[in-house]
Amino acid sequence: VHSPSALFMSSTAKKAPGTAKLDIPWEDLGFEFRPTNSHVRLQYKEGEWSAPELVKEPYVNLHIGATALHYGQACFEGLKAFCHEDGEVYCFRPEENAARMQSSCRRILMPEVPTETFVDAVQKVVRDNIEYVPPYGSNGALYIRPLLFGSGPRIGLQPADEYMFIIMVIPVGDYYHGGLSKPVDAIVISDFDRAAPQGVGDVKVAGNYAADLLPNMRSKKKGFPISLYLDAKTQSTVEEFSTSNFVGINNAKKLYVTPKSRSVLPSITNKSLMQIARDEGYTVEEREISVSELEDFDEVLAVGTAVVVTPVGSVTVVDPTTGNEKVYEFGNHELGETTKRLYQRVRAIQNGETEDRHGWNVKI
Ligand code: COI
């Protein structure tokens, strides 16, 4: 691990990963907004995307009639770049994020950004902010947040004719305080839904996250850092956490189980972990998971770009009519063996410490 003070004194400061003069240690970044050098911006006008432009100021000058503001015509993505031991920086599966953003665009009638344009823009913005990529060994990453929204004005309900595609970058550490070493307690949200059965749950549109703000903040106040949603129609099957996908592990059967539902966001981390689990000899089941099946899991994980692989220590279900509580506990609130293994496998690939056999790392 490089010590931050040593990095500040480096004569090559500014050009190498991990040399930005942040006032906090690289090993303890958390997940919060921090200023960086620039973001990259493309504008869509008259049916065409402009060339990418690096912009210093973290502001946009937006028309007050922009469809993003009124009708929620906006989607985003989340991916990460990592510094390897040799100082080179790699981004994890950016083509997958490009494809998912394209699917969000199709659903809310926005122009798609071609995959090549998306990946080029990622490379451009990461290169311009290379000193903000946390150093190898710090356990941090450069979080990359692409955002695409309707910037043109409409007052009747219809898609805009102008759009903005922005990618900002932020150095981050653990999303949930304590990371892998501290399993989080989850609570089931029984009086709100995240996504309707035929709604927009399977795409990464901004409104999905707005819908979760109230229940999520309420759960946090009650002492549950993470909330779990059930299917909206029957309230009987597990869908996903506010921030991430759900995975249940049965160690005796070597089973990796994750919900299959039209209203769950297809997580790229989950897809990667499913591949790793198969490579490790697990049976992967993508299917409905009834709430009562929580009993059968030895380990429960929240998985996603931001949360990586977060162990879940318990899931509390409150009966909305009686108020009775049932608490499902996993692994004595300790990190489970499979959770640890999956985390280590995916992080080793991202850090360039093991063979990238599926070709997931893209050089910046
Ligand atoms: C991500 O994991 O990248 C997300 O976009 C989830 C968000 C709640 C931070």
Query: What are the mean pLDDT values of the chain's consecutive 10-residue runs (364 residues total)?
Result: 41 70 79 94 97 97 98 98 96 98 98 98 97 93 98 97 98 89 94 95 97 96 96 96 97 97 97 97 97 96 96 94 93 92 96 96 96
Ligand 1 center to 252 CA (angstroms): 31
Rounded-to-integer distance, Cα 33 and Cα 327, Å: 34
Ligand 1, atom 9, lies closest to the CA of 306
Ligand 1 center to 8 CA (angstroms): 30
Ligand 1, residue 243: give the atom nearest the CA. 8
Ligand 1, residue 143: give the atom nearest the CA. 3
Ligand 1 center to 323 CA (angstroms): 31
pLDDT of the residue at 179 = 81
Ligand 1 center to 185 CA (angstroms): 18
Ligand 1, atom 7, lies closest to the CA of 243
Predicted structure pTM score: 0.93
Rounded-to-integer distance, Cα 63 and Cα 319, Å: 46
* Cβ proximity of 169 and 144 under 8 Å: yes
Ligand 1, atom 6, lies closest to the CA of 243
Ligand 1 center to 97 CA (angstroms): 12
User: Which amino acids bring their CB within 6 angstroms of ligand 1?
Assistant: 78, 243, 304-306
Rounded-to-integer distance, Cα 354 and Cα 178, Å: 25
Nearest residue to 101 via CA among 29, 49, 26: 49
pLDDT of the residue at 331 = 87
Ligand 1 center to 147 CA (angstroms): 12
Rounded-to-integer distance, Cα 214 and Cα 129, Å: 34
Ligand 1, atom 5, lies closest to the CA of 78
Residue located via tokens 């805009």:
160
Ligand 1, atom 8, lies closest to the CA of 243
Ligand 1 center to 304 CA (angstroms): 7
- What tokens appear for 110 in the block? 């926005």
Ligand 1 center to 331 CA (angstroms): 26
Element of type H or E holding 26: none
pLDDT of the residue at 3 = 43
Test site for ligand 1: of 33, 205, 307, 346, most ligand atoms within 8 A of the Cβ: 307
**Beta partners for 43?**
164
* Cβ proximity of 7 and 18 under 8 Å: yes
